[in-house]
Structure 1
């Protein structure tokens, strides 16, 4: 008889999800304790847990001597990589599970800016019908087919953005850490992303970031937050962007020097920004960003989807099957890299 694999989930799971996880193998035992507090879980439960599915509830290493694998229920893990548990267990994230929805959000912002939606909404609020000359001067669209889109961070989200852009025909530039390996070896659902690296026109190393930024009409941030990427869009980066360019951030708020961004927007050094993430969340009510007509603000919702449970469950079950078969897991976190 095979040894029991004890899985603990600190995330509430539907009955269907529980049944599907248990159905992976007869020797899988699933315990569900929905909580955000490690203290809500008994010492006995921690001691017997081999696999942990969690949003970020982590025990101290001595509390869980049998823990071998932590599957995070999110893609971003920058808040946890310094936890001592990472020195003794394999940890994986949910990268790729919500790439489709975030890709659609990015596409929405590109089309909104390109078709001058913020200006149109201002005219609507003011009940203003522009004359012909004003239409041609202020409302002329920036069509994607004539645009260059730069994607900073070519992981699962960046690749999905590139895939969704294909029918619109822009020039797509991408920047990633390792340009010698354009293919994607992470988790990806069939028909999504850019597994082989086919959907960009040019790939830039991070060292050539400013060169890429200077060519872009739209810049999309999808990077993870690490010590190297923190503040990567700073005053100097904003200065090399076109005055007509737009910035979209669905990565982490700290990727951008927010004060430098506010200054650039006020000075019209760039045309606008769509921001789903911020240095401080909720965004303080006194932030100048709220009042800027060339800024689209959303409250960290780019990854919300009615398909989220199904997509994350599919990834976890795929990884669980690989774990039971002693195969390499998808989306392993590299503590040295920070993601």
Structure 2
């Protein structure tokens, strides 16, 4: 029997056609007129529509039939047990679904969850390199020179020969290391349990003062769990090499933000490249906005025009695996939080 698959966030019509063609054994339910309006391409939150009683009734009916969902319900996500009694699997649209899954009550693995791990890796790696080059090649200095109309020659540093510590050597961390390796950066990584990481990593090391002090660049690419919340506090920031750079593409809560600002103001770090903050959205009065040597992205580094194509590729593969009774890619473990 064909599983009922409910698309709970917007996809371009041509991608839905590609999904249907790739998984003809599934019954795909896609009602874009009921879904939140995306603010940009690959927006999987969007602005909820004002639906009338009939439209909400239709959505409620679709939820009730769904065995598989692409993304979490936008309407009453916390009521999934009541609204979706036949639900067996949710394919997430982001790599880090732990906090949301826990908040919605997906804590006993009664419903299988899979993440979008790997889908955003290339885009995030590009952001890491862009942010690092911003500081290493002194883009702010070039901007000041242009503003002052000052043709002043000189030299800048380079990424080549630097050492990077990648905290979280998963699919995203590995892509970051692969990209930095191309620029001549030597990378070491950390994992929850020590293991041989292979190339492009030179070694798998324990996260701590020694690893932090040896790195010119620290990239946070770990999931947010009870173990990683507050992972980089004042003690760890103090252990970082003077003049080093910090990149956070994990979650804002992984870093003690007040301590980070203090170390930036003191000049201990030469820059911070942040795709995340805490809280989000960051209030206008938050001191992070005015902290020195910060390049801040509003958690959009992974949002690229081709994201949905990659998501559909993953979902097609996983949906065929589901129908065939094969293991799904990127399974979420509620005990580990990722």
Measured in 1, the distance between the counterparts of 2:72 and 2:59 equals 18
Distance 1:25 1:311 in 2: 16
Aligned pair 1:61/2:77, yes or no? no
The Cα of 1:56 is off from its aligned counterpart by 5.5
Partner of 2:143: 121
**Partner SS for 1:23:** helix
* Matching residue of 1:44: 61
- Mark the CA change 1:124 to 1:289 in structure 2 (over 3 Å): closer, same or farther: farther
Q: Distance in 2 between matches of 1:156 and 1:271?
A: 27
SS at match of 1:247: strand
Query: 5+ unaligned residues in a row in structure 1: which ranges?
Result: 183-196
Residue 286 of structure 2 corresponds to 287
Structure 1 counterpart of 2:124, from 85, 88, 102: 102
Question: In the alignment, what sits opposite 1:5?
Answer: 3
Kindly indicate whether residue 173 of structure 2 is the aligned counterpart of residue 158 of structure 1: yes
Distance 1:321 1:47, change over 3 A: same
Distance 1:84 1:301 in 2: 26
Name stretches of at least 5 consecutive residues in structure 2 with no aligned partner. Answer: 37-44
* Displacement of 1:281: 2.2
User: Could you tell me whether the CA contact under 8 Å between 1:249 and 1:276 is conserved in 2?
Assistant: yes
Q: How much has 1:25 moved relative to structure 2?
A: 4.0
Counterpart of 1:15 in structure 2 is 13
8 Å Cα contact 2:99-2:224 kept in structure 1: no
Equivalent residue, structure 1, for 2:254: 255
Name 1:198's counterpart in structure 2: 199
How far 1:153 sits from its partner (Å)? 0.8
1:140 has 2:156 as partner: yes
Are 2:184 and 1:169 equivalent residues in the alignment? yes
For structure 1, which segment, 10-19 or 77-86, has the greater mean C-alpha deviation from structure 2 after superposition? 77-86
Report the equivalent of 1:273.
272
Q: SS at the partner of 1:18?
A: helix
Count of aligned positions: 314
TM-score (norm 1): 0.86
Could you tell me which residue of structure 2 aligns to residue 186 of structure 1? none
Residue among 73, 84, 96 paired with 2:105? 84
RMSD: 2.1
Residues 236-267 of structure 1 show CA distances to partners (whole Å, capped at 9, x for unaligned) of: 01000111101011111111110000100111
Cα-to-partner distance string for 1:186-220 (whole Å, 9 max, x where unaligned): xxxxxxxxxxx310112113xx3322111111111
Distance 1:223 1:56, change over 3 A: farther
Q: Which sits farther off after the overlay, 25-34 or 101-110?
A: 25-34
Q: CA deviation at 1:78?
A: 2.8
Taking a change above 3 Å as real, the CA distance of residues 321 and 166 of structure 1, as seen in their structure-2 partners, is: same
Distance in 2 between residues matched to 1:85 and 1:78, nearest whole Å: 9
Please give the alpha-carbon distance, in whole angstroms, between the structure 2 residues aligned to 1:294 and 1:268.
9
Q: 1:122 to 1:233 in 2, by over 3 A?
A: farther
Mean alpha-carbon deviation: is it higher for 259-268 or for 272-281?
Answer: 272-281
Change (3 A) 1:254 1:44: same
Whole-Å Cα distance in 2 between the matches of residues 42 and 290 of structure 1?
40
